[in-house]
Amino acid sequence: MPRPAFRHVALPRQAPLVDRAPPEVRISRRRLRACHECDWLMALPPLHAGEQAVCPRCRHSQVRRHRYPAQRSLALALAALTALALALAFPFLGFRVSGVGNRIELTQTAAQLIGHDEPLVAIAVLLTILVLPAIYLAGVIWLQAGLLRGSPLPASRGLARSLAHLEPWMMADVFLVGTLVSLIKIAGLAQVELGPSFWAFGAFALLLLATSQSVDRDWLWFALAGEPSAPEGSRTGETAAAQRLTGCPTCGLVNRLDTGGQGRCRRCGEPLHARHPRSIQRTWALLAAAAILYIPANIYPIMTTTSLGRSDPSTIIGGIVELIEMGSWPVALVILVASVIVPVGKLLALAWLCLVAPRAHNHFALSRTRLYRLTEFIGRWSMVDIFVVAILVALIRAGNLMSVTPGPAALAFGAVVVITMLAAMSFDPRLIWDTPTPPSHSADKEAAHERLAP
């Protein structure tokens, strides 16, 4: 019988059930999980607030427990939405040079790109910094409010599934860094004003990050739909695929697959596969597309600066060189890392993982998995350069005296960032841990069939 994960005396009796009784207290049987990175089947231990359960094989975090999870997420989400409303209600930035100035609101960073015939880049900026975060926060409030009232609100399961897919595409923190880089770039050319919206957006970015980190997905799904028993005959300490099992990537529940290596989660309805269908082929295709687009992203100008009637187009590398000549080494380093080192490094790392995955060996699997985690984490930060362009285009509008317009490289580079993120999502890190065996072995044949299942 596992020990309780919480001391009951620490919680008032009138606390909602979702906060008062974690999964470990409400059921006595073991709850199984299959690691999403190495496919190891394990039983979750009892957890106290502030503790996490990690995979004993690859050290990937499975569950992170919080005290008062529903109330915590609800409070943070409400605070983040309030900060976002304030950020939209006041001026964001302003600049003044030679008696001419301009002030912008947050939404103008996307609106001005549309005016310069860059609608796709504008949509990407609007979605990643405003629309998707607002939807995510509203969804968290809807889910946690239902749990606190004692019964989930309508469509809670579908909403919880959707929120899990939104998280990688929320980039308010990246936009905040892009804003700081933009301010440093123009500080020597004009007088910069920080509006109330700037500070509100900074608070929003931090609160959004805290909200996403506070959502205990394991506890959330247990409160929404309970926990069906694990498939009969499940054995911990082995890979799930060897037992024709898999863990749901959305809610974590262990499910049994059909003979074709497919199925649907019994709890959330997510489509399941023993391995991502044609994972390596899809990743190669996306990497090839990103590599091709990275060429025009560096050849063509990403923006054109007009000063005193003279237009000066600037490529990504050219902008870095200019910053170095101006003495702005820190900003040049940020742009170099985000726009050159990260995209190229991610392309090379994923290509290498695709090459070695079919010939993986467990002796090197952990280091390769760590490399995959790094590429997945850093990919979104390449959007810094796109956000810098969006801010400068909206802010610097003083005619022939000084103005900035986006270049054709902005769309190409934005596409590179999105495609490399999709490539990282398409790659199945569990392939790294699949040790090849002789083709005549029946288990190998079954695993190969599951990996290639459409």
Say if residues 388 and 289 touch (Cβ distance below 8 Å): no
Count of beta carbons in the 10 Å neighbourhood of residue 94: 17
Q: How far is CA 19 from CA 71, 216, 292, 395, in A?
A: 8, 11, 51, 46
Cα 359 from Cα 343, distance rounded (Å)? 25
Specify the DSSP element, H or E, that contains 97.
strand 93-97
Smallest CA-to-CA distance from 408 within 324, 330, 315 is with 315
* pLDDT on residue 1: 34
* pLDDT on residue 332: 83
Cα 224 from Cα 153, distance rounded (Å)? 9
Which 3 state secondary structure label does DSSP give 382? helix
Say if residues 268 and 164 touch (Cβ distance below 8 Å): no
90, with CB counted inside 10 A (0-12, 13-18, 19+), is middle
Cα 396 from Cα 399, distance rounded (Å)? 9
Which 3 state secondary structure label does DSSP give 266? coil
Count of beta carbons in the 10 Å neighbourhood of residue 142: 19
pLDDT along the chain (454 residues), means of 10: 37 53 68 91 86 89 86 94 95 79 86 88 94 96 89 88 91 92 77 89 95 90 86 89 91 89 88 90 96 93 78 82 77 84 92 85 82 89 90 78 83 93 93 66 42 40
Structure tokens at 409: 């490289």
